[in-house]
Amino acid sequence: MNKTITDIYKGWTISVIAADEQCSHFSFDITSPSGHTQHVKMGGITEQRAVERAREMIEMEIALEEE
């Protein structure tokens, strides 16, 4: 069974799970405070990189909302 790592960043929920996909070993979901979820199959080589990438994506989503 794969262990899911969950983190909260600026009100968004990040869920990282081990999932081998090409050169990536982790995938992630980000869920907005309103409940909209986005899935990224190739999240990163390490758990840490997947979390970093998820946070970068959240920053981009927040910036787009502010425009």
What confidence tens digit (pLDDT) does each residue in 6-65 have? 999 999 999 999 998 888 999 999 999 999 999 999 999 999 999 999 999 999 999 998
Listed in sequence order, the residues at least 6 apart from 53 whose beta carbon sits closer than 8 Å to its beta carbon are 28, 40, 43, 44
Nearest to 28 by CA among 11, 51, 61: 51
The strands making up 24-31's β-sheet, listed across from edge to edge, are: 4-9, 12-21, 24-31, 37-44
Task: pLDDT band for 1, please (50, 70, 90 cuts).
Answer: low
> What is the reported pLDDT for 31?
98
Nearest to 43 by CA among 19, 27, 25, 59: 27
> What is the reported pLDDT for 11?
97
H-run or E-run covering 26: strand 24-31
